[in-house]
């Protein structure tokens, strides 16, 4: 893909260098860590690029070794990083992730406050580049990083909707990044109103809406303006509702849960790619469930994201 090629999907957000523990136990006791990439938006960008879609990612990184590492990694996956700025004097965010053996959520320790990405402002966005894509994927993670990043999320979603493009939004809640639960609800709902496809988890939906069932959560968000809501139900699969069609899709089989982080991003890759390719809604959700299941069976956020060849072999 060259810089002049039109894009299928654009996403903006914070990428971080992730140091994954080489052994179980408290992070302070771990001697060896393995370096990898992390970030909700970049996970989705990598997954879509592996399926052959033309994907662009926009952000700011520190002009440091970790920033250069992330930029090289994303470019190596075929993601257009032409609108990623390496900023002298600023630093790249990072995190430490523990290793667990029982399938539970691993401990995660973030070091992202004041990062280069958190200082991204609306004027940093190349609007022509953004609007060259037919779809925008946004998440509640980047929106929560700073007041500036929230403005970037809101502006880009509004621009794409006004241009007649589609917008997907994964709430992907990070409560510690928001000033309060009330601010988180208000911010997420403001962004949901600018999205076409909304992908909440069941517990996220319950916390944000007060509704308890997948059907009620989907109805709440469709009333806010979403055209399609897919509620992730974990081991129970997913529920989808676009007004004309609704139903449940079972979870894909999982032999052993190794790492739960990244499952939601994998699910988003499946649903977004399927819908952009014109698959029927139910088949797109089935693809999402299959990729999400692959993601939890390997260590790391992106290692389980399939290529197009693997997708074809699975009949998806």
- Is there a contact between 173 and 140 (Cβ–Cβ < 8 Å)? yes
> Could you tell me the CA-to-CA distances from 260 to 97, 104, 241, 294 in Å, in that order?
12, 7, 25, 10
Strand partners, 21: 33
Task: Report yes or no on whether pTM surpasses 0.85.
Answer: yes
pLDDT of amino acid 293? 87
- Is there a contact between 178 and 143 (Cβ–Cβ < 8 Å)? no
Distance of CA 224 to the CA centre of its chain: 21
Q: Is it the case that residue 261 has pLDDT exceeding 80? A: no
Q: Of the ranges 6-10, 139-143, 262-266, 289-293, which one carries the lowest mean pLDDT score?
A: 262-266
From the candidates 8, 80, 196, 265, give the one annotated as an active-site residue.
Answer: 265
pLDDT of amino acid 210? 95
Query: Whole-angstrom Cα distance, residue 107 to residue 21?
Result: 10
Place of tokens 């917008």: 167
Q: Is it the case that residue 12 has pLDDT exceeding 90? A: yes
Q: Looking at the chain, how many residues does it have?
A: 316
Spatial neighbors of 308 by CB under 8 A, at least 6 apart, are 50, 51, 52
> Each residue of 57-110: pLDDT tens digit?
999 999 999 999 999 999 999 999 999 999 999 999 999 988 887 767 788 899
pLDDT of amino acid 253? 81
pLDDT of amino acid 153? 97
> Each residue of 267-306: pLDDT tens digit?
999 999 999 999 999 999 999 999 988 877 776 677 788 9
Query: Whole-angstrom Cα distance, residue 286 to residue 316?
Result: 8
> 181-192 vs 214-224: helix axis angle to the nearest 10?
70
What value does the mean pLDDT take over residues 173-187?
Answer: 94
Q: Is it the case that residue 240 has pLDDT exceeding 60? A: yes
Strand partners, 80: 56
Spatial neighbors of 19 by CB under 8 A, at least 6 apart, are 33, 34, 35, 36, 94, 95, 96, 97
pLDDT of amino acid 258? 66
301-310 b/e (C-beta count within 10 Å ≥ 16 → b): bbebbbeeee
The percent of residues in the chain predicted with pLDDT above 90, rounded, is 77
Angle at 41 between CA 313 and CA 4, to 5 degrees: 80
- Is there a contact between 220 and 200 (Cβ–Cβ < 8 Å)? no
Q: Distance between the two ends of the chain, CA-based, in angstroms?
A: 24
What value does the mean pLDDT of the chain take? 92
- What is the phi/psi pair of residue 217, to 5°? -65, -45
pLDDT of amino acid 86? 95
> Each residue of 110-143: pLDDT tens digit?
998 899 999 999 999 999 999 999 999 999 999 9
- Is there a contact between 61 and 117 (Cβ–Cβ < 8 Å)? yes
- Is there a contact between 110 and 93 (Cβ–Cβ < 8 Å)? yes
236 is catalytic: no
pLDDT of amino acid 299? 67
């Amino acid at each position: 893909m060259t810089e002049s090629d039109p894009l299928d999907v654009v996403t903006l957000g914070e990428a971080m260098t992730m140091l994954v523990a080489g052994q179980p136990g408290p992070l302070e006791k771990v001697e060896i860590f393995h370096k990898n990439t992390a970030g909700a938006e970049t996970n989705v960008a990598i997954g879509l690029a592996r399926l052959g879609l033309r994907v662009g990612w926009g952000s700011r990184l520190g002009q440091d070794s970790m920033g250069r590492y992330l930029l090289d990694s994303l470019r190596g996956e075929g993601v257009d990083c032409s609108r990623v700025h390496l900023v002298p004097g600023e630093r790249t965010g990072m995190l430490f992730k523990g290793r667990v053996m029982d399938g539970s959520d691993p401990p995660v320790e973030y070091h992202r406050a004041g990062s280069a990405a958190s200082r991204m402002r609306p004027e940093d966005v190349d609007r022509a580049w953004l609007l060259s894509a037919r779809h925008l994927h946004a998440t509640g993670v980047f929106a929560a990083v700073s007041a500036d990043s929230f403005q970037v999320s809101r502006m880009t979603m509004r621009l794409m909707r006004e241009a007649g493009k589609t917008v997907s939004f994964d709430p992907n809640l990070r409560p510690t990044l928001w000033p309060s639960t009330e601010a988180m609800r208000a911010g997420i709902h403001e962004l949901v109103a600018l999205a076409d496809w909304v992908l909440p988890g069941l517990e996220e939906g319950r916390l944000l809406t007060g509704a308890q069932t997948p059907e009620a959560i989907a109805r709440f968000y469709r009333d806010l303006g979403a055209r399609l809501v897919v509620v992730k139900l974990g081991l129970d699969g997913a529920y989808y509702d676009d007004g004309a069609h609704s139903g449940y899709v079972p979870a894909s089989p999982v032999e052993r849960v190794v790492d739960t982080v990244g499952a939601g991003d994998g699910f988003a890759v499946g649903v977004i790619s399927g819908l952009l390719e014109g698959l029927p809604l139910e088949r797109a959700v089935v693809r999402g469930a299959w990729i999400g299941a692959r993601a939890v069976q390997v260590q790391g956020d992106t290692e389980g994201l399939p290529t197009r060849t693997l997708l074809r072999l699975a009949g998806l």
